[in-house]
C-alpha cells in the first residue's frame, strides 16, 4: 500500500455557497479519482467515509469527500435543501474535480449519498462504476421517517428532527421533494456496473432496498464483451447502517471496492 496525504479543497455548491471537501491522495499521482457522498445529515468526516476514503487512497485512488450544503464545514442553509439540491451539489463536485484534477471514474455513496450517486451517474460519461453502502431504493421512505419524527413538518410546514444527537430544521419543501422524486426510474436506467453493500440487520434502510436496487438493474447487458455488467450485491451480516459496530466491515468494504474497481477499470 502507498502512503497517503490529504488536501483540503473548496468549491461552489448549487446555491453558490462554498462547499468544503477533502481529497485523500496517494503519495504518488492517483491512478484515478472517486467521489464519496455522505449520508443524510452526516458529514465528510464520519468514520466510514473517512476510513474507506483513506484506504482507497492507499490503494492509489484520489478520493474526494465533501460536505453537502449546510452540513459540516460547508456553508448554506440546510433547511432550504432537498434531494434535488443534493443531486446538484454532487454534480458541482463532479465538475470541480473534472476541471481541477481529473474526471472521476466512480461514485461511491453511503445511505442517501448512495441514492444520490445512483440518480446522477448516468449523466456523466466519465463515470464507469457506482458503489453504494446501505443505500435506499427510493426517497419516499426518508420523507415518511422525517414526518413520523415530527408531524409538525406537514401540519405547520416546518418541524425539528433529532438525528445522531443533533437537531435539524426540516421544512415541507424537503418532504415534497422527497415524496415526488422518482428514484426507481433513474436506477432502472443506470447502465453502468454497480456494487451494492447492505446489511440484513440494517434498522434504518432495510435489506429489501438492496434487493430492489438489484432487481431494477437486472436489465443491464450481461454479454461477455459488455462493460454494462449489471449489479453485484454484497451482504454484510451483523453490520449496522453506518458500519460502526463491526470493525472488520470498513477494511472489507474498502478492499473489495478496490478489487472490484480494478476489474472494471481494466
Q: What is the band of 223 on the pLDDT scale with cuts at 50, 70, 90?
A: low
What's the rounded mean pLDDT across residues 149-171? 96
168: left (phi over 0), alpha (psi -120 to 50) or beta: beta
Q: pTM higher than 0.75, yes or no?
A: yes
Rounded CA-CA distance 69/13 in Å is 7
Q: Which of 24, 26, 32, 30 is nearest to 3 (CA)?
A: 26
Percent of the chain with pLDDT over 70: 95
Rounded to the nearest angstrom, the gap between the alpha carbon of residue 223 and the centroid of all alpha carbons in its chain is 28
C-alpha 115: how far from chain center? 6
Smallest CA-to-CA distance from 129 within 201, 25, 230 is with 230
Q: Which pLDDT value is given to residue 27?
A: 93
Mean pLDDT, rounded, for 19-25: 98
Q: What is the mean pLDDT of the chain?
A: 94
pLDDT at 228: 53
- Quick check: 219 pLDDT over 90? no
pLDDT bin (cut points 50, 70, 90) of residue 97 is very high
130 pLDDT above the threshold of 60: yes
Average pLDDT value for residue range 5-16 = 97
Task: Report which of 53, 55, 28, 60 is spatially closest to residue 38, judged by C-alpha positions.
Answer: 53
- The Cα-based distances of 167 to 161, 170, 220 in angstroms read 5, 10, 41
Residue 68, φ and ψ in degrees, nearest 5: -70, 165
* SS3 call for 151: coil
Within the chain, residue ranges assigned H as helices are 47-58, 83-100, 112-120, 140-149, 152-156, 172-180, 183-188, 207-216, 249-265
pLDDT of residue 221: 55
- 243's CB contacts (< 8 A; 6+ apart) are 47, 48, 133, 134, 236, 249, 250, 253
| CATH code for the part of the protein at 4-138+182-265 | 3.40.50.1820
Listed by start position, the domains of the chain span 4-138+182-265, 140-180
Amino acid at each position: 500500500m502507498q502512503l497517503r496525504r490529504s488536501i483540503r479543497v473548496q468549491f461552489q455548491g448549487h446555491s453558490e455557497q462554498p462547499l468544503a471537501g477533502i481529497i485523500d491522495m496517494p503519495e504518488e499521482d492517483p491512478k484515478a479519482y472517486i467521489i464519496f457522498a455522505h449520508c443524510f445529515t452526516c458529514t465528510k468526516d464520519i468514520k466510514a467515509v473517512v476510513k474507506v476514503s483513506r484506504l482507497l487512497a492507499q490503494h492509489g485512488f484520489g478520493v474526494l469527500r465533501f460536505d453537502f450544503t449546510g452540513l459540516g464545514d460547508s456553508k448554506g442553509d440546510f433547511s432550504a435543501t432537498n434531494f434535488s439540491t443534493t443531486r446538484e451539489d454532487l454534480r458541482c463536485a463532479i465538475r470541480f474535480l473534472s476541471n481541477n484534477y481529473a474526471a472521476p471514474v466512480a461514485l461511491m455513496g453511503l445511505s442517501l449519498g448512495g441514492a444520490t450517486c445512483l440518480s446522477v451517474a448516468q449523466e456523466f460519461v466519465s463515470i464507469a462504476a457506482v458503489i453504494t453502502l446501505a443505500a435506499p431504493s427510493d426517497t419516499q421512505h426518508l420523507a415518511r421517517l422525517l414526518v413520523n419524527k415530527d408531524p409538525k413538518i406537514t401540519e405547520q410546514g416546518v418541524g425539528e428532527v433529532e438525528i445522531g444527537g443533533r437537531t435539524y430544521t426540516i421544512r415541507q419543501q424537503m418532504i415534497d421533494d422527497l415524496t415526488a422524486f422518482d428514484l426507481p426510474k433513474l436506477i432502472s436506467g443506470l447502465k453502468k456496473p454497480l456494487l451494492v453493500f447492505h446489511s440484513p440487520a440494517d434498522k434504518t434502510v432495510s435489506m429489501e432496498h438492496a434487493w430492489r436496487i438489484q432487481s431494477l438493474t437486472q436489465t443491464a447487458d450481461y454479454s461477455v464483451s459488455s462493460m454494462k455488467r449489471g449489479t453485484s450485491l454484497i451482504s454484510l451480516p451483523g453490520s449496522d447502517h453506518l458500519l460502526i459496530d463491526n470493525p472488520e466491515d470498513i477494511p472489507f468494504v474498502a478492499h473489495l471496492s478496490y478489487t472490484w474497481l480494478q476489474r472494471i477499470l481494466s
